[in-house]
Amino acid sequence: MKVLVTGGAGFIGSHVVEAYLSQGHDVSVVDDLSTGFRHNLKQNIRLYEVDIRSRQLQDVLRQEKPDIVSHQAARANVRESFEEPLLYADVNVLGSVNLLECCKQFGVKKIIYASTGGAVYGEPQWLPVSEDHPVNPLDPYGASKHHVEHYLHLYNLNYGIRYTALRYPNVYGPRQNPHGEAGVVAIFTGQMMASGQPVINGSGEQLRDFVHVSDVARANVLSMDKGDNQIINIGSGTGSSVNTIFSLLAARTGFSKPPVRGPAKKGEVSQIFLNSDKAGQLLGWKPEISLKDGLDSTVRFFESVSESKQVAQL
C-alpha cells in the first residue's frame, strides 16, 4: 500500500515511517525540515521538502497518489504556542485543511492523524482520561490539534475520507531532539550526559503518561485498516511523575547532581494519563515497552550519538 507520512523526518514521524516500511509498504515523506532532520530517514526514502501549507503539496499528492496519509506534521511546543498562537493556528489547522483538500482531490482513502491526549483534555475531571472526557485545552497547541479533529469528521461525512485520530501521550525515545520541541525525557537525558543542570519546573509531582515511540508507531500501523472514523487514546493508563523520570535517568546515566527547581510552566496540566481500553478493543493495541526499558533505549541512543561525534572528531 502507498503511504505518505507528513512530518516523517521528525522524531515520531521517522519511527512511523520505519514501522510502515517494516510491513512492506511503499512510503514517501513530506517534511519542511523545520524541526525534522534528513538523517532520520533512510537514504532511499522519497522526501519532499514541502510545507504542508504550501500549494506544492498538491504536486506531491498528484505524483504519489497515496492510499493512506499518516499526518504527523505539526508545531508541537506548548510554551511556544503561547508566544506564537497565530503560527500554531496557521500550521496545525490551516496546514491540515490544505492537506485534507489535497486528499480529497487525489483520492486518498484514509488519514491517520496525530492528535494529542496530553493537551486536548485540559485538567482532568477523572483519571485515567477516556475519549468521552470533556475537551478543554489549556494552551493554543492543544486547541489547534483538537480543531483538526472536527475537520476530519467533516471530510469523512461529506467526501468519504476515512480517518483515525490517535491522541498521543508524552512520547519519548530515540531521536527525540533535546533542544527543539522535546519532552522532558530527551531534555533531561541530554543535560545529564553533558554534565549540565536539569531544571524541574514546579514541584515535579506532575503526572504524565509516558509511552515509547515504537509503541506509538505501531498504533499508526494498526490504524491502517482498523479504527475507522474514531478518536482513540494511545496511552499506558498510568502516570509517572517528573521527579520519577529524573531519578530513573540519573541512575541510568550516573548523574549525581540534584535538580534545580524552576517556576511552573504556563498552561501545564498538573496530572494526565490516558485510558487506552478503546485502543485495545478497536486496534488490538497496548503498550509493550516498559518505562524502565524505554528509558534505557533512549539513553543508549544518546550514548551512541555521543560516541559517533567523538569518533568524528578524532
- What's the CA gap between 42 and 54, in Å, rounded? 25
Q: All 3 cell numbers of residue 72?
A: 504527523
pLDDT of 310 over the 60 cut: no
DSSP letters along 130-159, please? PTTS----SSHHHHHHHHHHHHHHHHHHHH
- Short-list 36, 37, 53, 42, CA closest to 19: 42
φ/ψ of 74, rounded to 5, equals -175, 160
Q: Is the pTM of the predicted complex or chain greater than 0.75?
A: yes
- If phi > 0 it is left, if psi is from -120 to 50 it is alpha, else beta; for residue 65 that is left
User: Is residue 244 within a helix (H) or strand (E), and if so which, with residue range?
Assistant: helix 242-253
pLDDT of 300 over the 50 cut: yes
Q: Do 16 and 8 form a contact (C-beta atoms < 8 A)?
A: yes
Q: Which domains does the chain have, with CATH numbers?
A: 2-172+211-235+275-288 (3.40.50.720)
pLDDT digits (tens, 9 = 90+) for 75-119: 999 989 999 999 999 999 999 999 999 999 999 999 999 999 999
- What's the CA gap between 127 and 246, in Å, rounded? 23
Residues with catalytic function: 141
pLDDT digits (tens, 9 = 90+) for 182-225: 689 999 999 999 999 999 999 999 999 999 999 999 999 999 99
